[in-house]
Amino acid sequence: MKIHKIHLGVIEQVHGDGKGDPLTTSKLAEILEQEYGIFSGFVAANAEWINGQIAEAMAGAATSALVSDEDVVLPLERVAADLAHRLQQAIATGQIERLDLGPGTVPTRAALMGINHRFKSGLNNISPGQKAAFLKAQKKLPKGERARPVGDRRPSFVDTGVLLGSVRGWAE
C-alpha cells in the first residue's frame, strides 16, 4: 500500500522589488514558520478538520472500489487544496492571529503599524504627501519625542499579498 502525504507550502517566486538579493516566497515562508510557526500551528489547530476530510476521502474511495473494477486513487489533492484555501482565508481575515502559533508575538508589529508595501507610502491609507508632512512635523520635535508614522492596522502576514497568493496544498 502506498503512503500518501499532504503538503502545505508556497510557489517559489520573488517577493519584493527583486533588487539585490531578492527574498523569495519560500524563504519568507521559512522565516514565518521559524518565528511564528504559521504553517505547523495552523495544521495543529486544524488537525480535527484535516482528519475528517481525509476520512471522508477514504470512505468515498472505499465506496468507489466496491463498485468499480478499476484502481481507485485517494482524492487527497482536493483535501490538500482545501487546506491551502483554508490557510489563505485564515491569514486574509486575521483569524490566524487568534491561533496559538509559536514563539513570535501575533499580531505582528508591522500589522499593528499598518505597514503595507502595496502602497507608495508603505502604510495603509496614508498617502505619500501625508507621510511626508508627518515626518516634516516630527523633525521639529526633540529626538526622544518623535513618533513613527502609522497606517491603519492590517492582518498579520499580509503585506504585499504575494505570499498569500502563493500558498498551495498538494498530495503525493
Of 121, 110, 120, the closest CA to residue 157 belongs to 110
Asked if residue 135 has pLDDT above 70, the reply is: no
Residue 155: what pLDDT?
82
Residue 96: what pLDDT?
87
On average, the pLDDT of the chain sits at 81
Residue 61: what pLDDT?
82
Residue 11 — very low, low, confident or very high, per pLDDT cuts 50/70/90? very high
Residue 142: what pLDDT?
83
Asked if residue 46 has pLDDT above 60, the reply is: yes
Beta strand ranges found along the chain (DSSP E)? 6-10, 14-15, 23-24, 167-171
- How far apart are the C-alpha atoms of 89 and 164, rounded to whole Å? 9
Asked if residue 1 has pLDDT above 50, the reply is: no
Residue 16: what pLDDT?
67
- How far apart are the C-alpha atoms of 168 and 39, rounded to whole Å? 11
Task: Decide: 15 and 5 in contact? Cβ < 8 Å.
Answer: no
Asked if residue 60 has pLDDT above 80, the reply is: yes
Tell me which of 133 and 119 has the higher pLDDT: 133
* β-bridge mates for residue 9, sequence order: 168
